[in-house]
Structures are given as C-alpha cells and as structure tokens.
A and B are shown apart, each in its own frame.
Chain A
Amino acid sequence: MITINDTDLKKAELLAKLSIEPEKRERTMAEMEKLFGYVEKLKKVDTTGVEPLAHTSEITKENRFRRDEVTNPDGAEGTLFNAPAKKDGQFVVPKTV
C-alpha cells in the first residue's frame, strides 16, 4: 500500500500548477492513494512474453499520414473566440517570465 504525504501532494501541486485548499487536502491524499493502489494492483499482472502495445490500432500496421498541404483557413477568430482577455489578436495572460 502506497501512502501519500503532504510533501507528495505539494510536488503534485507544483507540477500541475494547482493549489489544493487546506480542507480538501486530506481527501485528495486519500484519493491519490486509491489511484496509486490501483496501479500497484496492475503491476501484479504477469506480462511475461507480452509485447507492449503503444496503440490499439497498431495491429493494422498501416501508416496514417497527412499530405504537406495547407488546408486550414485563417483560424484567428475561432481560436480567440473564448479568450477571457485578448489584445492585438493575441491571448492576454499574466506576465510569465
């Protein structure tokens, strides 16, 4: 059984750029333990002699490609449609440096 402590949760928060509210921390850690427990259970399956499969459609052995031709029109309107803030045709985000 894997145990998740506050340090583990802090690392997960940092990587996911999230902050979990104090009253939700215990519950989140318990949920994470359950998730990891499930993976631990999967690890017990004997996979000797089984080739890893990267994609369920891999059996076809056929490549799916696109030709190098421009097919998309000007997409600015659609891309920016739901932008909470925009300026000069660009998304506005908090200063990130």
Chain B
Amino acid sequence: MESKNVEKTAPVKGRPKTAECRRYDTVIGLEVHIELSTKTKIFCGCSTKFGALPNTQTCPVCTGMPGSLPVLNKKVVEYAIALGLATNCRINQRTLFDRKNYFYPDNPQDYQISQLYEPICLDGYLEIAQDEGEKRGSSTASENKTGGGTSTVCKKATKTIRIHEMHMEEDAGKLTHDESEGISLVDYNRSGVPLIEIVSEPDMETAEEVIAYLEKLRMICLYLGISDCKLQEGSMRVDVNLSVKEAGSDILGTRTEMKNLNSFKAITRAIAAERERQIALLESGEKVEQETRRWDDTAGASYSMRSKEDSKDYRYFPEPDVMPVVISDAWIEEIKQRQPEFKEEKAARFEREYGIPAYDADILTQSRHLASLFEETATLSGQPKKTANWFMGELFRIIKETGKEPEEFTFSPKHAADLIVAVEEGKINQAGAKEVFAKVVLEDIEPLSYMEQHGLMSLSDEGALQAAIEEVIAENGAIVEEYRSGKDKVFGFLVGQVMKKTKGKADPGKVNELLKRNL
C-alpha cells in the first residue's frame, strides 16, 4: 500500500530557520507499543520465545481457526496494572476487549482483539525533565546497553506529559517479502504475543521531550521487568503524531502519523523532517493531509502510506469471546505492594545513603540489575565511591565490549567487593586488579586465591622488599649519593628501580617507606 501517493520530501539538514521557529509550534503525541515478556501469548498457551522456526509456536487460537476460543493470560492483566500504577493511571476496574476489523495476511482472524471502549488504564501522566534551550540539538539519549539516558543529573524543571489511556492487545504475525518470486511469506509465531499500547496526549513540543518521555517509559518497563523495550528489535514501537500550528494559536493543525521509527535517532530525524514538510506545505498555501506516513531513515524522508480514501474504518465492536475483566481493589493493592523502587527514587537514595555523586547514581541505576549488584558490592566493600568507579569504568567497558545484556552478569558481589578491598589495601596494583576484575565479572572467580595462584599479589612482605631495595642501593651507588647530598628528585628513580626488580608487584607505599628508611 505504500506505493500509492508517493510524495518524497527532501532530507532536512540542520535546524529550522529562526523565522519559522517563531511562527510555528510543533505539537506531538505518541502511540507506543511494548511487547510484553510473558512466557505465553495473550489468549493461548503458545510460547512467545523469540527466534523459533516459523509457525512452530502456533495453535488454532492464534491462527484464527473457526471454533477456537481465546482465554486471557492473567499475567498480561497484571503487567498492565503494574505499568498503569507506575504511570499514575486510574485502573479501570471493569475492562473489556473489542474487535478491530481489518484484512491483511499478518492477521489470520481478520480482526485484532484490542480494547477501545473500556481500556484497562486511563488518565495517567509522566514527569519528564524540561527541555532547555542550550540542550537542543545535542543527542540526549544514547542507545547503548547501559543506557546513558536523558540528563536527569542536573536538577531542572519538569514537564508533565499526560497519558490518555493504555490498552492490552495482541500482536500480528510477521510477513517477509520474497522480491525475486513476487510472493510474501507468513509466520504466525508472533500472532497473539501480548502488547500494551500507551497513548499519550499531544503534550510534547520537541524531539528532546519525546526522547525523554520514551526513556522514562522504557526505564519503568525495564524496572518492572515487563518488557525489554528494544526499538531495533520491535519490542518497543513508536508512532509519532505530529502537527504544526501558528505560534500561540489555540487551533491545532492537521496531524500526520509517522510509522517505522526504529531508533531514537530515527525518531529525532523524523520529527525534524515532518515539521519542516508541514511548514513548507502551509507556507506555500497548501494543506496538510491527515494520513499515515512511513519513515525511511536511510533516505531521511517519509512516504504517504495510506490515502485519505482508504482511511481507517475498523468497525470496532465488543469482543464476544473474551469475558469482561473485573479488577478488585484487593488485586490492585497486591500489585502496588509488589512495585519495585524505580530508577529515580533509587538514584536519589544511592546519592543519600552511599554519598556518591548524582552523576554516578544516575548512571548506576540505568539497569535495575546492575544497580542491585552495585548496592551489594558497595555495602560489602564499604567503599561506595570506589565501587561506583569500578562499575562505571571497567564493568561498563566490559558490557560494551562483550555486547552482553546487563542481566547476563551474575557474579557474586562478595567477589567484586573482595577485590576492591584488596586494591585499597595495596595488595594488588591497578593493572593486575583490572585483569582480576574482568575475571570476577565474567567468570565469577574468587579474587584472592586467583591473585595468589597467578602471582598478582603485591610484595608487601618486608623481607622480600628489603632484599630488592638493598640490591638497588648496591647497584646505583652514584645516584644514592646524589640523593644523600640533597637531590630529592632522584628518589622517584630509585622507587622505579625497586618496582622493576619486583616486576611491578611491590606495594608502592611500602617501597617508599622502606627505601627512605634504608637511605
């Protein structure tokens, strides 16, 4: 269907002209789909495991066979309630499913079971850090494994983004297109995988606000453990509704919906390009068509997907095969009790309880799992700041280098703490410690015995050091004389000689002390 009404827009470079900035405001609302990490699908007992052979995770229910009946997965409701509570929503205590009718090969029932009239969560909001002039244009969100995230470090004003509603629904199957044979192939493994759609109000004005909102939502989902929220893999999908209006005007312009946004960078670029496209239309006296557009990130432009004539008409009606869901106060209370400490509260507590800088606390809480590893290690080592340095320096480097997920690191905090203490006690030098730290986080080795077995222990034994020092003094008679006649500068050279003799294993503090005594 994209082939219709192809209207290409030139890639937009740089920021809009100031004159335009003054004249037009951008109004943005988002529809975000997150794929839930339940073991099974929303209405049947088929596995949701990713990467299985095509159609092996299917049954009559998720392939829409006549006579099959869907039965709701309780976990999906619990996840939706948990997300609703975390985003300040009102929980709809009698929630219903509806049929959304459309015909497409990825949709074997010819309808999608979704929610329209009585969605599970209503009227929520998220607070995001307010966009600041000088931050514009800079990339506020990094997409690496450990996050990086929006700048919550410096305290600044917040802005409220309202959430209109949230609903539960099922995913569609996956189509792959065989260009050479002119056919499409359909795999229904994804059909019936549970999704939650989060619909915001049009409260955002810039790409930075959009990214801040998405980062916050993503972090909440990760902390709840309800989704892995990966844009590139489609477990988080974002549709951007955008319109422009004359600055200060109360009348909203016609909006378009942008699809196929697979990264935060693509979202940022698409927002800039769509704003420009709409302004250009208005400036030349044309009208913005209400339509769905598809973003092509490589081309830096979007294409019209649906013409006005075949605009959506989904003929929703209540789903007769799924029972209404009644959510009791007790159930909501039970889920409330199980809510985790979320990122921002945790970061504030780390700052307070462990006395680490706000910057460190922000970074260390980008993953709930790493935050808990940090907390245990910091407590056991009694060295919170040193622990923070090891995590932010070495651990994050290793995560990046190995391409592993933070959750894959399951070393025992005791081992990490033992090493950090050993470093502080001068039992191992920095280079050796880095080697051992990598072994700890990747293989969970016991650091002290490893250090001994591999000869990484610093020489702090006075006897051994004394011998080395005596040798150095004997071999460097001239320099020793210089030192004794008041040339303090050569002391460093002598320390270096001792370190060399001990192959870098000597505890430098001890060497200083002993050398001075001997001279």
- Chain A residues in the interface with B (C-beta under 8 A): 11, 14-17, 54-55, 57-58, 61-72, 74-76, 78-80, 87-97
The contact of B103 among A17, A87, A88, by CB within 8 Å, is A17
Give 11 A-B pairs besides A15-B101, A70-B47 with Cβ atoms closer than 8 angstroms.
A54-B96, A64-B72, A65-B77, A66-B40, A75-B63, A79-B188, A87-B178, A90-B186, A91-B105, A91-B188, A95-B177
The one of A63, A66, A70, A96 that contacts B184, using a Cβ cutoff of 8 Å: A96
Known contacts A68-B39, A70-B45, A93-B186: does B71 contact A79 (CB below 8 Å)? no
Q: Check A68/B326 contact, CB under 8 A, given A89-B53, A92-B183.
A: no
State how many angstroms separate the Cβ of B189 from the closest Cβ of chain A: 9
The 5 closest A-B pairs by CB, nearest first: A71-B45, A65-B74, A90-B185, A68-B75, A91-B186
A16 and B103 CA atoms in complex are apart in Å by 7
Contact of B185 among A17, A64, A92 (CB under 8 A): A92
> Contact residues of B with A, CB < 8 Å?
1-3, 38-40, 43-47, 53-60, 63, 71-75, 77, 96, 101, 103-105, 118, 175-178, 182-188, 310, 313, 315, 318, 320, 323-326
Query: Which residues from B are CB-within-8-Å of A54?
Result: 96, 118, 318, 324
The reply to whether A66 and B72 contact each other, CB–CB distance below 8 Å, is yes
A70 to B177: give the CA distance in the assembly, Å.
Answer: 30
Query: What DSSP secondary structure best describes chain B's contact surface?
Result: loop
Interface contact B186-A66, CB-CB below 8 Å: no
Of the residues A16, A63, A66, A78, contact of B45 by C-beta under 8 Å? A66
- Whether the pair A78, B60 counts as a contact (CB closer than 8 A) is yes
Which of B47, B54, B71, B105 is A88 in contact with, Cβ under 8 Å?
B54
Contact between chains at B58 and A75 (CB < 8 Å): yes
Q: Give chain B nearest CB distance to A80 CB in angstroms.
A: 6
Contacts of B175 in A (CB 8 A): 93, 96
In this complex, what residue of B is CB-closest to A62? B326
Is there contact, CB below 8 Å, between B72 and A70?
Answer: no
Choose from A11, A63, A79, A88 the contact partner of B326 (Cβ within 8 Å).
Answer: A63
> Are A95 and B60 interface neighbours, CB within 8 A?
no
**Which residues in B have their C-beta under 8 angstroms from that of A80?**
55
Check if A72 sits within 8 Å of B39, measured CB to CB.
Answer: no
Distance from A65 Cβ to chain B, minimum over Cβ atoms (Å): 4
Residues of B within 8 A of A63 (CB): 74, 323, 325-326
Known: A58-B324, A90-B54. A15 touches B177 (CB 8 A): no
What residues on B are CB-neighbors of A71 within 8 Å? 40, 45
Task: Quote the shortest CB–CB distance from A54 to chain B (angstroms).
Answer: 5
